[in-house]
């Protein structure tokens, strides 16, 4: 990592520009760059060791100082990690491991030769792709926000400034009035990326006009949706973009104190935003008289404690006050009375990161991307039964089909698509017939789902939709804070009905009851958690009613997931009698019958743990 060259404070726009030029010159030095992903998703692949291997090998081959090793945040295509991108040439290597390192340096870096086996294969054509931008996964994306991750050493302010970071801040503080900034944000059409999609400029405006001298701005980085790590990839990979947006917002609203509320389960995000904050303070981009504008602003970081409900604005603010994270009714908006009863503006990580872009390029430019009601791009964590798992950033208006098939490369293992879930526990499951729906706040809501903070979970024929609805209810039952009765008791009662259905004791009346109870929760719960809790239930009943009926009438789980309604069996013609499942079965429920003879399973002993199913690589254990 390069060190901060200027320890002295940046006191003016001229200082910032001079530093930027100096840094750009240093970066332009004619040396190749190896950009290596060190994001959270690449960690289980051993990217930390790989980084060390690169450092050692660079020294060994005498390339130290001649090649820049850039250790960055998430590159997006997590499925194929660890990822290495080499410049010049935009050469994309995937699934790189330690043994590949000497060859990458001696062949690609020194001799300019491409290593074929490390290249990405286009699943559609079967052809190898050399350049990152030609990979189908990246081609349809617009990585306006996430794209800079690959340019920046983890939490390195020099890199951020070199690519034009904090120029939007200078423009906002020195050329624009608060009203002009708010007008620009309003004109851009930016809507909150945390899920509900409230217009950001309007929120800022009401907070600015709310009576009171002391106001707060808050970054909501408590990304609690299970299966969503979009905020994580952004906050850990490019924390300064969030910070820059926050400072601009604070100036526009008139806040002198900001908070970043980070989910404690994200150690990398926490570490990097902490470092970023310290760097910004050292350079004078936070503190008093920022860039000579006369504007003072400081930021504190708070950690969450593992409560999903704290992603709700009033609960988050209660937690910031050191209280339990219980929400309150929003008769009075937090823009008027929020943290410590003072006007407070809370926005999602991604919303804040959009701000510098809008200020720099203008609302007009920003509006060009997207649909009538949803502008700009949206980051999703595309996960589940999909070929290219990863973080994607797409223009609003793109269809779900394009995301899943063109970017995501379709369904894993040649299975059939069943549903896509967006919006986490507050969202819904959409079937194949809805795949041509555009990614748009209003369209997704109309279909019974929601944009959410960025989880997009793809499900195939082996996913049981009744089980998924039960999964979300179980999750929400645990996460309900218990303050209001409809949520506390209603979710529990719904989950109990799902227990009945998935254990083969469901009745025809259950669905009607679930729909009634859902209506009660929507109408009478205190906060968004309870109000949206029925969404997974209602959408699965609406689009996958036949699966409910199979559980209730036929006492069968078509996907083979609900334990009480399925059992494992030996597919005799596929079983060579190797005996591996016999050895692994914890119940001794499988008997070895001799070499080359299929094994025999005693279903009365089977506890349906699934070890035999996992251990058999020949697919000789089936579910029915």
Partner 1 sequence: MNDKVTAIINKYGGERGQLVSILQDIQAEYYYLPGEALIQVSEIMGIPASRIYDVATFFKAFSLEPRGKHIINICLGTACHVRGGSRVLEQVERCLSIKRGQTTKDHKFTLETVNCMGCCAVGPAVKIDGDYYGRMSTDKVEGLLAKFE
Q: Summarize as ranges the residues that interact with partner 1 (CB under 8 A).
A: 40-41, 43-45, 78-79, 81, 224-229, 232-233, 264-268, 300, 302-308, 319-325, 381, 383-385, 389-390, 421, 424, 455, 457, 459, 463, 468, 471-472, 475, 481, 584, 586, 609-611, 614-615
Q: Which is nearer to partner 1, 75 or 375 (CB)?
A: 75
Q: Which is nearer to partner 1, 259 or 295 (CB)?
A: 259
What gap in Å lies between CA 518 and CA 544, rounded to an integer?
Answer: 17
Q: Which is nearer to partner 1, 363 or 561 (CB)?
A: 561
Q: Which is nearer to partner 1, 303 or 330 (CB)?
A: 303
Closest distance of CB 42 from partner 1, Å? 8
Q: Which is nearer to partner 1, 161 or 320 (CB)?
A: 320
Closest distance of CB 475 from partner 1, Å? 7
Q: Which is nearer to partner 1, 233 or 577 (CB)?
A: 233
Q: Whats the size of the chain, residue-wise?
A: 624
Q: Are 500 and 494 in contact (CB under 8 A)?
A: no
Report the alpha-carbon angle 52-57-61, nearest 5: 160
What gap in Å lies between CA 15 and CA 292, rounded to an integer?
Answer: 10
Angle between helices 349-361 and 239-253 (to 10 degrees): 80
Q: Which is nearer to partner 1, 250 or 481 (CB)?
A: 481
Closest distance of CB 422 from partner 1, Å? 11
Question: How many helices (H) and strands (E) are present in the chain, helices listed first?
Answer: 24, 19
Closest distance of CB 255 from partner 1, Å? 16
Closest distance of CB 271 from partner 1, Å? 12
Closest distance of CB 303 from partner 1, Å? 5
Q: Which is nearer to partner 1, 28 or 617 (CB)?
A: 617
DSSP 99-149: GGHHHIIIIIIII----GGGSEE-TTT--EE-BGGGSHHHHT---TTGGGG
What gap in Å lies between CA 300 and CA 298, rounded to an integer?
Answer: 7
Closest distance of CB 321 from partner 1, Å? 6
- In sequence order, the 6+-apart residues with CB closer than 8 A to the CB of 367 are 187, 188, 189, 375
Q: Is the peptide bond before 88 cis (omega within 30 degrees of 0)?
A: yes
Q: Which is nearer to partner 1, 150 or 185 (CB)?
A: 150
Closest distance of CB 310 from partner 1, Å? 8
Rg (C-alpha) for the chain, rounded Å, is 26
Q: Which two tokens stand for residue 258?
A: 């900001």
Quote helix, strand, coil % in the chain, to nearest 5: 45, 15, 40
Closest distance of CB 339 from partner 1, Å? 9
Q: Which two tokens stand for residue 352?
A: 């804040």
- In sequence order, the 6+-apart residues with CB closer than 8 A to the CB of 314 are 327, 328, 330, 334, 338, 527
What gap in Å lies between CA 448 and CA 540, rounded to an integer?
Answer: 10
């Amino acid at each position: 990592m390069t060190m901060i060259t200027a320890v002295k404070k940046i006191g003016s726009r001229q200082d910032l520009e001079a530093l930027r030029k100096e840094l750009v010159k240093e970066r332009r030095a004619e040396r190749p760059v190896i950009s290596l992903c060190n994001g959270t998703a690449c960690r289980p692949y051993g990217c930390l060791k790989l980084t060390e291997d690169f450092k050692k090998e660079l020294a060994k081959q005498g390339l130290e100082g001649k090649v820049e090793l850039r250790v960055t945040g998430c590159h997006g295509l997590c499925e194929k990690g660890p990822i290495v991108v080499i410049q010049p040439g935009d050469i994309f290597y995937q699934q790189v491991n330690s043994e590949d390192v000497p060859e990458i340096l001696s062949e690609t870096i020194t001799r300019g030769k491409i290593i074929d086996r490390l290249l990405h294969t286009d699943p559609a054509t079967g052809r190898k792709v050399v350049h990152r931008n030609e990979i189908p996964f990246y081609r349809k994306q617009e990585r306006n926000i996430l794209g800079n991750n690959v340019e920046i050493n983890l939490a390195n302010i020099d890199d951020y400034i070199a690519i034009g970071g904090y120029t939007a801040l200078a423009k906002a503080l020195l050329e624009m009035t608060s009203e002009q900034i708010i007008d620009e944000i309003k004109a851009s059409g930016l809507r909150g990326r945390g899920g509900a999609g409230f217009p950001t400029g309007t929120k800022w405006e009401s907070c600015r006009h709310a009576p009171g001298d002391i106001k707060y701005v808050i970054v909501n980085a408590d990304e609690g949706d299970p299966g969503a790590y979009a905020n994580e990839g952004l906050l850990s990979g490019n924390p300064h973009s969030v910070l820059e947006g926050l400072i601009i917002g604070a100036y526009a609203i008139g806040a002198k104190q900001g908070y970043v509320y980070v989910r404690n389960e994200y150690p990398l995000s926490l570490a990097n935003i902490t470092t970023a904050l310290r760097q910004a303070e050292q350079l004078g981009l936070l503190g008093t008289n920022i860039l000579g504008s006369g504007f003072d602003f400081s930021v504190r970081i708070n950690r969450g404690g593992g409560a999903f409900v704290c992603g709700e604005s009033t609960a988050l603010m209660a937690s910031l006050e050191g209280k339990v994270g219980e929400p309150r009714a929003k008769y009075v908006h937090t823009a008027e009375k929020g943290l410590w009863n003072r006007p407070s503006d809370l926005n999602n990580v991604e919303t804040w990161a959009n701000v510098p872009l809008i200020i720099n390029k203008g609302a007009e430019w920003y509006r060009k991307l997207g649909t009538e009601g949803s502008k700009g791009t949206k980051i999703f964590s595309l996960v589940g039964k999909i070929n290219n798992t990863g973080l994607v950033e797409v223009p609003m208006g793109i269809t779900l089909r394009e995301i899943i098939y063109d970017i995501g490369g379709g369904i894993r293992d040649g299975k059939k698509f069943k549903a896509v879930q967006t919006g986490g526990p507050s969202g819904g499951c959409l079937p194949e017939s809805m795949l041509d729906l555009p990614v748009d706040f209003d369209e997704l809501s109309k279909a019974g789902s929601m944009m959410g903070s960025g989880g997009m979970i793809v499900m195939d024929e082996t996913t049981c939709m009744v089980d998924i609805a039960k999964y979300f209810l179980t999750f929400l039952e645990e996460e309900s804070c218990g303050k209001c009765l409809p949520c506390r008791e209603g979710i529990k009662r719904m989950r109990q009905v799902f227990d009945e259905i998935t254990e083969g004791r469901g009745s025809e009346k259950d669905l009607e009851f679930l729909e009634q109870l859902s209506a009660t929760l929507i109408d009478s719960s205190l906060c968004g958690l309870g109000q949206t809790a029925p969404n997974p239930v209602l959408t699965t009943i609406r689009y996958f009613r036949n699966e409910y009926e199979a559980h209730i009438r036929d006492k069968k789980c078509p996907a083979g997931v609900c334990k009480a309604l399925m059992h494992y069996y030996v597919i005799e013609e596929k079983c060579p009698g190797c005996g591996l499942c016999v050895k692994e079965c914890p119940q001794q429920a499988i008997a070895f019958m001799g070499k080359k003879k299929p094994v025999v399973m005693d279903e009365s002993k089977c506890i349906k743990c699934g070890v035999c199913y996992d251990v058999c690589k020949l697919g000789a254990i089936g579910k029915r």
